Each structure stands twice: as C-alpha cells, then as structure tokens.
Structure 1
Amino acid sequence: MPAQPIHTDRLILIPFTLEVTGLLLDGDTSILQQLGLQLTPYWPDQEAIDTFPKIINNLELVPEPSGFESYMVVHRNSMTVIGDAGFKGLPNTDGEVDLGYAIIPQAQKNGYGFEVAKGLADWAFQQRGVEAITARCLLENVPSARVLEKLGMHEVNRDETVIRWKLLKPNLQPTIAN
C-alpha cells in the first residue's frame, strides 16, 4: 500500500512521489495546484530544491513510496507548503530511521518543526521493525536542537559541526491490574 498522508493538528504531511519531485526539480510548480495546494513564492526554496535529488534517489529504491521517504509539509488552513520532512529511507538493520525536516523561514517559530517531528515519530513507531529514530543537526542550529530535545531525543555524540540524536521506541507494555 502506498504511503498515506500524515495528519497532525495543523499540518498535513503529503508524501512526495517521483512524478511530483521530478516536476518540482524541473521548476514546474503547477503540480502543486493539481494536488489542491496553493502556490507561494516561499516554497520550494533553495534548501528544498537542493534536497529533491536525494528524495528522488530514495524514491527510486522502492516500488512505491513506503512512508520512509519524504513529505511536503502543508499548512492545513492555507493549504500552502511550508516545508519538507521525512526519513532518509527504510529502517536499517538495527531498526533505525533517520529523521529530517526543514520549515521555511516565514513559518518558523510557530511550533511547526516540533509538530512535524512528532507526527513523523509517532507514525514511525507504529511501523513494524522501527526501534529507534535518529537525527542530526548543526551545532549552531539551537532551535532544531530544542525541537529534538522536546521530542525526547538524547544526544548520542557530536563533532565540531554536527550533533547526533537518538530516540528509542517507547516500551508500551500493558500493565496487568491486580
């Protein structure tokens, strides 16, 4: 079954497809209108355009989007794309998926980064084989680090430029009443 949109309180995460990503990479944003989205001058921004080849590479590895690829982050009320987010592929042999997200500057500081990360994490932990979510952020990206901490991630290590994070799957064992 192909990947389905993920709904949060204020956002809809719409899975990228090869067709959509290819058209956007070619500069054709009319596909967004065909999907019922409103065009803005803010997205796709250069950061998104730079990510499209990676999204295409990940989508070419699977017969259809699995959900472990990337999503357009759509503001539910305005139906505008305010960013992109997702995973960098299927779970690895340790059951880890790597999370990433980007919100356009015009929509930052409204809690959308956390809402996206939480929506993706909640979805991922419902999927078979996912045991942990990892993420990376630049050392100077304090707002992103705050989002990952709020999500419950713990710093695994860092170097001179990047902090690496991990969130283990919650152990949701039912409690037995006496």
Structure 2
Amino acid sequence: MPAQPIHTNRLILIPFTLKITKTLMAGDIGILQKLGLQLTPYWPDQEAIDTFPKIIHNLEKVTEPTGFESYMVVHRNSMSVIGDAGFKGLPNDDGEVDIGYAIITQAQKNGYGLEVAKGLASWAFKQPSVKAITARCLLDNKPSARVLEKLGMQQVSTDVELIRWKMMNPAHEQDTIDC
C-alpha cells in the first residue's frame, strides 16, 4: 500500500512522489497548486532544494513511496507548505530509521518541528520493522537538539560536528532488555 498522509493537530505530512520531487527540482512549483496547496515565496527554500536529490535517490529505490521517505509539511489551516521532513530510507538491519525535518524560517518557534517529529515517530513505531528511531543534528543546532530531547530521544554520541540521537520503540524495548 502506498504511503498515506500523516495528520497531526495542525499539520498534514504529504508524501513526496518522484513526479512531485522532480517537478519541484526543475523549478515548477505549480504542481503544488495541482495538489490543492497554496503557493508562498518561502517554500521550497534552499535547504529543501538541496534535499531534493536525496529524496529522489530514496524514492528511486522503491516502486512507490513506502512512508520511509520524505514528506511535505503542510499547515492545515493555510494549506501552505512550511517545511519537509521524513526518514532517510527503509529500516536498516537493526530496525533503525533515521529521522530528519526542516521548517521554514518564517514558521519556526511555533512548535511545528516537535509536532512533525512526534507525528513521524508515532507512525514509525506502528511499523513492525521499526525498533528504534535515530537522528543527527549539528552541535550548534540548539533548537533541533531541544526538539529531539522533547521527543524523548537520548544522545548516544558526539563528534566534532554532530550529536547522534536514538529512541527505542516502546514495543521493542523488552527485546533489548532480554538480550
């Protein structure tokens, strides 16, 4: 079954498809209107544009979006895209998926990052193959670190650039305790 939108209180996470992503990457934002979304001058921003090749790469690995790829973050009231978020592919051999999110500058500091992260985590933990969610953020990205902490993630390592985070699926925590 193809990926379905994820609904949160204020947001709708709409899965990217190859067609949508390639069209946006070509500079044609008119496809957003065809999806019933409002155009704004704020999205896609440069960060989203820089992410499109990675989204395309992940989508080319599957026949249709599975949910473990990327989503447009849509504000439910305005129906405008305020960011993008998702996973960096299917769960690895350890049942881990890596999460990422970006909210446009104009919509930051409103709790949308946490709402997106919670929506993605809730969806992921309902998938039988997901044992843990991982994330990375830059050492100096305090807002992202706060989102990951509020989500319930634990720091597992740091290096000169990044903090690595992990959160176990409550349904699988017993598996790691018994090992």
Give the TM-score range, shorter chain: over 0.9
* Residue in 2 that maps onto 1:167: 167
* Residue in 2 that maps onto 1:26: 26
Deviations 1:75-114 (A, max 9, x none): 0000000000000000000000000000000000000000
1:68 and 2:68 aligned: yes
Which amino acid counterpart does residue 104 of structure 1 have in structure 2?
A: I
Q: Secondary structure at the match of 2:67?
A: coil
Residue 171 of structure 1 and its aligned partner are, at CA, apart by: 3.5
Residues 15 and 69, structure 2, Cα contact 8 Å, conserved in 1: yes
1-side partners of 2:122 and 2:171: how far apart? 13
* Residue in 1 that maps onto 2:152: 152
- Percent of residue pairs bearing the same amino acid type: 77
2-side partners of 1:133 and 1:172: how far apart? 12
Q: Secondary structure at the match of 1:170?
A: coil
Q: Secondary structure at the match of 1:122?
A: helix
* Residue in 2 that maps onto 1:107: 107
Residue 128 of structure 1 and its aligned partner are, at CA, apart by: 1.5
CA RMSD of aligned residues (A): 1.0
Q: Secondary structure at the match of 1:20?
A: helix
Residues 131 and 172, structure 2, Cα contact 8 Å, conserved in 1: no
Structure 1 runs (4+) greater than 2 angstroms displaced: none
C-alpha change, 1:172 and 1:137, in structure 2 (3 Å) is closer
Residue 172 of structure 1 and its aligned partner are, at CA, apart by: 8.0
Q: What aligned pairs does 1:22-171 form with structure 2 within 5 A after superposition?
A: 22-171=22-171
Residue 57 of structure 1 and its aligned partner are, at CA, apart by: 0.3
Structure 1 spans left out of the alignment, 5+ residues: 174-178
2-side partners of 1:20 and 1:41: how far apart? 18
Structure 2 spans left out of the alignment, 5+ residues: 174-179
TM-score by length of 2: 0.95
TM-score by length of 1: 0.96
Residue correspondences, number = 173
